[in-house]
Structure 1
Amino acid sequence: MLGGGPFGLQPGQWTDDTSMALCLAESLIEKRSFDPKDQMDRYCRWWREGYLSSTGTCFDIGVTVRTSLESYLRTGKP
């Protein structure tokens, strides 16, 4: 992790892909199995609060991911 790139990250900072992987890993460890609601809740925290982001904010999110999270927040269905 050298830093730079399109987001001007500092060395050691990671992107959205790693943040989402960390959300999944924490959910699997804490729940000791796959819990789609917990997983989606963590993704929403990352998106809205910067949870597990290297910068403290969600500075990049794909259209498909954002649409999925908006749908989850609207319907409650993972």
Structure 2
Amino acid sequence: METVHEGITSPHGLSSTVEIIQRRRETRYYKLLCLVADRVTPLQLSNPLYLAPTPPSVGQYSSQQKPLDG
């Protein structure tokens, strides 16, 4: 007979899952930041008066993208 523990995660498993999600958010943030920088750099070179919008910090981005309560 096989015992299935559906939906039960050990405390270590849960904390490692939260850490993985946080790392993914930070990775996504830095990828987006690179995309913005690639777009803004030519604009700044062509127009020295161009002021790029300031992106949120990684902490602000992560808290805004947080799907879990905690």
User: How high is the TM-score relative to the length of structure 2?
Assistant: 0.34
Higher Rg? 2
Greater relative contact order, per chain length (Cα 8 Å cut-off, separation 6+): 2
Give the alignment's TM-score, normalised by structure 1.
0.31
